[in-house]
Amino acid sequence: MNIRHLATCVAHRLTAASLLTAVAIASAWAQDRPATNAADNDTAIGYRSVAQAFATVPHKPGAEVRVTPNGWTIVSFSTPETVVWSFAPADHYAAPAVVRRTLVT
């Protein structure tokens, strides 16, 4: 066995050991994180689902609703803060999806 072959073997074993260590650390980190269940908690948009938001938001007082030519439903509110909701059309690849933006001045 020559020195180059030995060096290559050592390098491969170190790379494999580093990869296994990284996977073990990532796995341990993931296990320490608490599981979340969207069915048990409200989401960041304040509704349990996109369907619930779509059924509620456009009917709130002050809602300005428009549908874009490509089917997105846009709901805007100007008071007390400017909030824009963008609902993906049912035939969009991301559906059901919504984006809620609060404009900050």
Q: Is the pLDDT reported for residue 11 higher than 80?
A: no
Collapsing DSSP to helix, strand or coil, 5 comes out as: helix
Work out how many domains the chain is built from and give that number: 2
Collapsing DSSP to helix, strand or coil, 69 comes out as: coil
85 near 100, Cβ under 8 Å?
A: yes
Average of per-residue pLDDT across 49-73: 95
User: What six digits make up the tokens of 8?
Assistant: 């290559």
Residue 40 in domain:
no
Domain that holds residue 24: 1-33
% of the chain residues with pLDDT over 70: 59
Single-letter amino acid, residue 69: P
Name the residue with tokens 């400017």: 82
Name the residue with tokens 């100007």: 78
| pLDDT recorded at residue 38 | 45
Q: Are residues 29 and 3 in the same domain?
A: yes
